């Protein structure tokens, strides 16, 4: 069995106690973090090693972005990829037992204005998605056992947002973003693991804004965090869960963990 978790932690050092609590409760074999917001030399490697995560891929920078793969299982090899001619620590790659290639991604948020001509951040996001999809299509095969997960910063389905109609012009749910995320998913035949267990039209969110006075009562969420697998792993999917309750913890990230279990 393989239990995977992805979580945009929004500063790993600030929320290390929350990570410890989550690990104690859920015991993932592999924990993938995004937005770690720390350079590699300050990442709390020893704290994770003490929790059993001795195999680590840490790819971070001061104050922004950053991804990490923390594993109780051996990582045979690891590396990183950069996109859009930037070194901004958004893509880590680790090979797990059984030859499974894991891609931990933090796709750019894209700013507030959904117009690439007026908003360089949105243009960057679209370019990032295009380059990533082209790379998977040319450098990888759908027959390879792969997992792509992370904060993809797009809620593609109508039931992935609190109001499809009102968010059509809001960055993260615009038609152009959904189209490009679909192209990325198709580039290697990725399967949305979570929606295999929680099919639409059931609403499902993994992010709630800090701006909400009462996030739980308003429940204006979006499903921005995803776990995808390629066809060779599809038959091994056993369960999936979005841990909504963590949004209510003290010093919570605005994202919550998503967990998928594979086995057999």
- Burial environment of residue 113 by CB neighbours within 10 A (0 to 12, 13 to 18, 19 or more): middle
Look-up of token digits 């690990």: 23
Q: What is the pLDDT of residues 55-90, one digit of tens each?
A: 999 999 999 999 999 999 999 999 999 999 999 999
Classify domain 2-262 by CATH number: 3.60.10.10
Q: For residue 264, what pLDDT is reported?
A: 66
Q: What is the pLDDT of residues 131-171, one digit of tens each?
A: 999 999 999 999 999 999 999 999 999 999 999 999 999 99
State the angle between helix axes of 120-139 and 175-187 in degrees (0 to 180), rounded to the nearest 10.
20
- Burial environment of residue 112 by CB neighbours within 10 A (0 to 12, 13 to 18, 19 or more): exposed
Q: How far apart are CA 40 and CA 248, in angstroms?
A: 29
Q: Over the chain, what HEC string results?
A: CEEEEEEECCCCCCCHHHHHHHHHHHCCCEEEEECCCCCHHHCCHHHHHHCCCCEEEEECCCCCCCEEEEECCCCCEEEECCCCCCCCCCEEEEEEHHHEEEEEEECCCCCCCCCCCCCHHHHHHHHHHHHHHHHHHHHCCCCCCEEEEEECCCCCCHHHECCHHHHCCCCCCCHHHHHHHHHHHHHCCCEEHHHHHCCCCCCCCCEECCCCCCHHHHCCEECCEEEEECHHHHCCEEEEEECHHHHHCCCCCCECCEEEEECC
Q: For residue 65, what pLDDT is reported?
A: 98
Claim: this prediction has a pTM higher than 0.85: yes
The ranges assigned to domains in the chain are 2-262
**pLDDT truncated to tens, each residue of the chain (264 aa)?**
999 999 999 999 999 999 999 999 999 999 999 999 999 999 999 999 999 999 999 999 999 999 999 999 999 999 999 999 999 999 999 999 999 999 999 999 999 999 999 999 999 999 999 999 999 999 999 999 999 999 999 999 999 999 999 999 999 999 999 999 999 999 999 999 999 999 999 999 999 999 988 999 999 999 999 999 999 999 999 999 999 999 999 999 999 999 999 996
Q: For residue 136, what pLDDT is reported?
A: 98
Phi, psi of 181 (to 5 degrees): -65, -40
Residue 183 near residue 215, CB atoms below 8 Å: no
Q: For residue 213, what pLDDT is reported?
A: 86
End-to-end CA distance of the chain: 7
């Amino acid at each position: 069995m393989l239990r995977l978790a992805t979580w945009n932690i929004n500063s790993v050092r600030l929320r290390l106690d929350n990570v410890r609590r989550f690990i104690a409760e859920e015991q993932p074999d592999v924990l993938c973090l995004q937005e770690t917001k720390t350079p590699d030399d300050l990442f709390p490697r020893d704290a994770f090693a003490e929790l059993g995560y001795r195999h680590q891929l840490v790819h971070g920078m001061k104050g922004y972005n950053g991804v990490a793969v923390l594993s109780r299982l051996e990582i045979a090899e690891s590396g990183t990829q950069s996109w859009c001619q930037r070194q901004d620590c958004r893509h880590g790659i680790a090979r797990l037992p059984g030859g499974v290639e894991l891609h931990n991604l933090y796709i750019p948020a894209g700013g507030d204005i959904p117009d690439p001509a007026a908003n360089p951040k949105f243009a960057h996001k679209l370019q990032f998605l295009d380059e990533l999809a082209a790379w998977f299509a040319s450098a990888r095969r759908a027959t390879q056992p792969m997992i792509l997960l992370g904060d993809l910063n797009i809620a593609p389905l109508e039931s992935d947002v609190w109001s499809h109609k009102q968010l059509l012009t809001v960055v993260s749910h615009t038609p152009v973003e959904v189209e490009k995320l679909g192209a990325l998913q198709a580039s290697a035949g990725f399967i949305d693991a979570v929606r295999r267990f929680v099919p639409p039209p059931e609403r499902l969110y993994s992010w709630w804004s800090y701006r909400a006075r009462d996030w739980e009562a308003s429940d204006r969420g979006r499903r921005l965090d995803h776990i995808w697998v390629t066809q060779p792993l599809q038959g091994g999917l056993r369960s999936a869960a979005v841990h909504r309750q963590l949004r209510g913890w003290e010093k919570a990230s605005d994202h919550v963990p998503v967990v998928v279990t594979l086995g057999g």
